[in-house]
Amino acid sequence: MPAEYSAERLNAHFAAISKRFDQLERQVALLSEKAGVPYSAPTSEVPTSEVPKEVVDLVQAGKTVEAVKKYREITGASSDEARNVVGAL
């Protein structure tokens, strides 16, 4: 019988994967720095339509810090991911 996944469970899995990717990106950046090899982390290109309206509204109001906090609260994203998403808006 196939496993059933709720939206909450899937979001938890995606949050865990995102956290792991963030850790790996930091490690690659550190190794690149130590080796003297230039490295640019990929940017998060998230369409505005996929960002919660409350976050978009905060960005449009010039409340970037609040937008990052709200994005993390709603999505469970890491600080880096939230900053990248908000920065891309």
The rounded percent of the chain whose pLDDT value lies above 90 is 27
pLDDT one-digit tens code per residue, 19-62 = 888 788 889 989 998 999 888 776 656 666 788 999 989 988 98
Q: What is the pLDDT of residue 35?
A: 94
SS3 of 65, please?
Answer: helix
Q: Are 22 and 80 in contact (CB under 8 A)?
A: yes
Q: What is the pLDDT of residue 34?
A: 93
Q: How far is CA 60 from CA 19, 57, 67, in A?
A: 27, 5, 9
